[in-house]
Structure 1
């Protein structure tokens, strides 16, 4: 049997973010392009272990960027997009997981932002900022990858409940 060998990706250039996973095709976005689309500056405040901080950020809503993709929804479910998570990964390996519903304006409406400017400084790679969070623990600095994953159950939930009732 012939196996397909995956195509080797060239390394990301500074400023690029790769969007991959359960989407029709991988997409590269550039921080400069995001910055050109950035909205009005926003003041975000949060608490660290010792201080309350306020920072001025500017960027593009994460949901807006992801809505430009063709994701692979689980078609077995009426609201397949509710089963999708977004994994945000930094250059140093730090990662944060968000649900797509959490950032969707129709559901959680969390205004997650891909910040291209932070306190007036233009960033080489965006920072994922969650303005609604009381802490900055889910902020992802030097974001290099976003991965969409469908986490819907692989089987029919009814068959699982039938099996569990027969095993009693």
Structure 2
């Protein structure tokens, strides 16, 4: 279940998210920058290996919208070129997951992956954003305290 949400910009806290890799416009976003983006809402259910079934409601910008700010180095006019790209997300504690660009691209899988700024109505400003992957059965890709988003192509080498 996903819906658009609007609201006011929050004060910065919880650090920054670095966007980089094979992009035209690498940047560093503060939590306040993330709050200024259009937010979406989703409810997720997954099984946590340590604590069992979990259910939460998150809101935040789509990972797609955040990643597009860095202007990934796709070949212009070649829609399928995007299929070569991977997105690596790293948390402050070193936890890392990888998604394919096709998972979040509206012309392919169109999964509304979020950088959650709230969980169950509570702001995550002090913790930083959380990667939220709707539809995952296991919560392993729900990475807390996201620090880096790197976009890279699989060059086949």
TM-score (norm 2): 0.81
- Higher mean Cα deviation, 46-55 or 139-148? 46-55
| CA-CA distance at 1:139 after TM superposition | 1.0
Deviations 1:77-115 (A, max 9, x none): 762111000000000111000001111111011111000
- Alignment of 1:128 with 2:131, yes or no, is yes
Query: Who is 1:87 aligned against?
Result: 88
User: For the residues of structure 2 that align with 1:150 and 1:74, how far apart are their CA atoms?
Assistant: 11
* Structure with greater contact order relative to length (CA < 8 Å, sep ≥ 6): 2
- Alignment of 1:151 with 2:154, yes or no, is yes
Q: What pairs with 1:29-68 in structure 2 (closer than 5 Å)?
A: 29-49=29-49, 51-68=52-69
| CA-CA distance at 1:29 after TM superposition | 1.2
User: For the residues of structure 1 that align with 2:30 and 2:135, how far apart are their CA atoms?
Assistant: 25
SS of 1:42's partner is: strand
For the Cα contact (< 8 Å) 1:90–1:140, is it kept in 2? yes
Query: Who is 2:25 aligned against?
Result: 25
Deviations 1:36-58 (A, max 9, x none): 33535322111123532111111
Provide the alpha-carbon RMSD of the alignment: 2.0
**CA 58–139 in structure 1, closer or farther in 2 if over 3 Å, else same:** same
TM-score (norm 1): 0.76
For the Cα contact (< 8 Å) 1:104–1:110, is it kept in 2? yes
User: For the residues of structure 2 that align with 1:78 and 1:62, how far apart are their CA atoms?
Assistant: 19
| CA-CA distance at 1:119 after TM superposition | 1.7
- Alignment of 1:138 with 2:131, yes or no, is no
Runs of 4+ in structure 1 over 6 Å off:
none
SS of 1:34's partner is: helix
- Alignment of 1:118 with 2:119, yes or no, is yes
SS of 2:72's partner is: coil
Structure 1: tracts of 5 or more residues without a match? 1-12, 155-168
Which protein has the larger Cα radius of gyration, Structure 1 or Structure 2? 1
**CA 54–78 in structure 1, closer or farther in 2 if over 3 Å, else same:** closer
Deviations 1:9-46 (A, max 9, x none): xxxx8421000110013111122222233535322111
